Chains A and B, each alone.
Chain A
Amino acid sequence: MNITLRVWRQKGRDDKGRMASYELTDVSPDMSFLEMLDVLNEKLTLENEDPVAFDHDCREGICGACGVVIDGEAHGPETTTTCQLHMRSFNDGDTITVEPWRATAFPVVKDLVVDRGSFDRIIQAGGYISAPTGTAPDAHANPIPKPDADRAFDAATCIGCGACVAACPNASGMLFTAAKVTHLGMLPQGQPERDARVVKMINQHDEEDFGGCTNIGECAAVCPKGIPLDTISQLNRDLLGSLGRGNG
């Protein structure tokens, strides 16, 4: 199939950036979206044009490195990561617009590459259980009801790709933050730090210039890992509880 790509090109953080158009012929429907970009880059290189920079690594949908907005949708038309999106989801003759995640908290580094260090800093603020190596009791010391363990797991599958932020009209990082608050908050090991954790993480979230949540659900709808929207409600409840107990 033949396609036209409109790709955001930006040389560096301080460059203004622009859209550029490229024609690609003989695209196989079995290619992944990123393989299609590989083909584009091979072509650009041979034509002495700077290849398009994009983040990617595992290409099996788990590392969370890849992610672009395709025709206005984070990770494109399928609910999966960009690396697992295949060209068979498009039609011959399509014009496909490719943009980086847009958020103040994710500044563009180059072309489609953004800096998601803000997510790491949210985790640094409190997204952990303080369990120094070697201090752990036996793994069976603390039975955990299966539904709690399952919910913790569902929340813990977040890959930190940032699609939730990209898709949110407010560029809110609430689903990411809520996933971690829920993961750790569902487990008995996470209780001692629960009140402090949510306050610290929300403060950092706001500090990073993410927007607030308006419960629209765009984040959960594009999340490649299906993080449930109600984790945000759980976060809200935890925060209000914590504030009520004077942990502001």
Chain B
Amino acid sequence: MANSTLTKKRSTAYGSTVALKSAMAVSGVVLVLYLIAHMYGNLKVFAGQEAFDGYAEGLRDLGYPLLPHEGFLWIVRVVLLASILIHIYSAAVLTIRARKARGHRYAVTKRVQRSYASYTMRWGGVLIALFVVFHILHLTTNTIAPGGKSDSAYERLVNGFQPEYWYVTLFYVASVIAVGFHLRHGIWSGMATLGLNKAPRQGKINGVAVAIALIVTVGFLLPPMAVTFGLVS
């Protein structure tokens, strides 16, 4: 075939797949840092209702009087929302491009290298997004209140994870595990995207990814489990 000889010209690389991935990576870093902070806060539940509620209340006044009441929290919320939107937007665009790039599907496929974590990034991501919506309605705004509404964050938590609401707990557990898998591949992938993934460092990056994924998963599972099994009431 006569090869078309002149290359087509795309005007900018700012919208390239690599740039989109970088946006995902950077927004992912913000979200991971938030998760770690959030997990730290959750673990305060083991220090009792007073400590936990006090911590939750304290967050609202963080930076006060420099910032107004809940000022810090709103900054965090805006940054988080932006990160989530960037993350989801990039993921969606990249997924659509990937679907289009494959075109015809294979009759037989076989996994050679991809791990379960990397394989489930997209559907796992969707699950996590749904969970986040539920989670905010449940424990932040308390719009959904399985065990009864309360002004105390501690009580909301304890009420929500009573054994009789096992389905809430199950959804929570499944979602947290999905987060774990998401982090397992996401941290590795983000580092690669940001150009930090050199062969000699790959072992370490993988180790860090697994460690953060595990810590976050366990850290988030402990409080609801403790409630369900009556260790915290």
Query: Interface-forming stretch among A26-34, A49-57, A130-138, A203-211?
Result: A203-211
Interface presence of B17 (CB below 8 A): yes
Q: Establish whether residues A240 and B110, one from each chain, have CB atoms under 8 Å apart when the complex forms.
A: no
Taking CB atoms, residues of chain A closer than 8 Å to B195 are: 233-234, 236-238, 240-241
Q: Establish whether residues B192 and A243, one from each chain, have CB atoms under 8 Å apart when the complex forms.
A: no
Q: By the criterion of a CB under 8 Å from any partner CB, how many residues of chain A are at the interface? A: 64
* Of A105, A169, A234, A248, the contact of B14 (CB 8 Å cutoff): A248
A169 to B195, CA, bound (A): 21
For B9, the closest partner residue in chain A by CB is A203
Q: Which of B154-201 contact A (CB under 8 A)?
A: 185, 188-189, 191-199
Query: Interface-forming stretch among A35-43, A59-67, A68-76, A86-94?
Result: A68-76
Q: Establish whether residues A211 and B103, one from each chain, have CB atoms under 8 Å apart when the complex forms.
A: no
Taking CB atoms, residues of chain A closer than 8 Å to B109 are: 72
* Of B12, B22, B101, B112, the contact of A211 (CB 8 Å cutoff): B101
* Interface 0/1 of B20-57, CB less than 8 Å to A: 11100000000000000000000000000000000000
Q: Establish whether residues B97 and A212, one from each chain, have CB atoms under 8 Å apart when the complex forms.
A: yes
Taking CB atoms, residues of chain B closer than 8 Å to A205 are: 16-17
Q: Establish whether residues A73 and B112, one from each chain, have CB atoms under 8 Å apart when the complex forms.
A: yes
Q: Establish whether residues B8 and A207, one from each chain, have CB atoms under 8 Å apart when the complex forms.
A: yes
Interface presence of B107 (CB below 8 A): yes
A207 to B12, CA, bound (A): 11
A239 to B193, CA, bound (A): 10
Q: How far is the CB of B18 from chain A (nearest CB, A)?
A: 5
A207 to B4, CA, bound (A): 14
* Of A172, A204, A214, the contact of B121 (CB 8 Å cutoff): A214
Q: How far is the CB of A174 from chain B (nearest CB, A)?
A: 8
Taking CB atoms, residues of chain B closer than 8 Å to A214 are: 21, 94, 98, 118, 121, 189
A226 to B218, CA, bound (A): 37
* Interface 0/1 of B101-131, CB less than 8 Å to A: 1111111111111110011010000000000
Q: Establish whether residues B112 and A218, one from each chain, have CB atoms under 8 Å apart when the complex forms.
A: yes
Taking CB atoms, residues of chain B closer than 8 Å to A121 are: 4, 7-8
Taking CB atoms, residues of chain A closer than 8 Å to B20 are: 212
Interface presence of A104 (CB below 8 A): yes
Q: How far is the CB of A138 from chain B (nearest CB, A)?
A: 32
A245 to B23, CA, bound (A): 17
Q: Establish whether residues A212 and B100, one from each chain, have CB atoms under 8 Å apart when the complex forms.
A: no
Taking CB atoms, residues of chain B closer than 8 Å to A117 are: 1, 3-4
Q: Which of A199-248 contact B (CB under 8 A)?
A: 199, 202-207, 209-218, 220-222, 228-230, 232-243, 247-248
Taking CB atoms, residues of chain A closer than 8 Å to B105 are: 102
* Of B98, B110, B115, B199, the contact of A212 (CB 8 Å cutoff): B98
18 contacts between A and B (CB under 8 A): A69-B108, A71-B110, A99-B107, A103-B102, A109-B1, A117-B1, A120-B3, A170-B94, A203-B13, A211-B97, A212-B18, A216-B118, A217-B113, A218-B112, A230-B202, A238-B195, A241-B195, A247-B13
* Closest 5 pairs between A and B when the two form their complex, measured CB to CB: A237-B195, A212-B17, A72-B110, A211-B101, A221-B113
Chain B residues packing against A (C-beta within 8 Å): 1, 3-5, 7-10, 12-14, 16-22, 94, 97-98, 100-115, 118-119, 121, 185, 188-189, 191-199, 202
Chain A residues packing against B (C-beta within 8 Å): 6, 8, 19, 69, 71-73, 97, 99, 102-105, 108-109, 115, 117, 120-121, 124-125, 167, 169-172, 174, 199, 202-207, 209-218, 220-222, 228-230, 232-243, 247-248
In the complex, given contacts A121-B4, A213-B17, A236-B21, what are 9 additional A-B residue pairs having Cβ atoms less than 8 angstroms apart? A19-B107, A103-B102, A124-B7, A214-B118, A222-B113, A228-B199, A236-B193, A236-B194, A243-B14
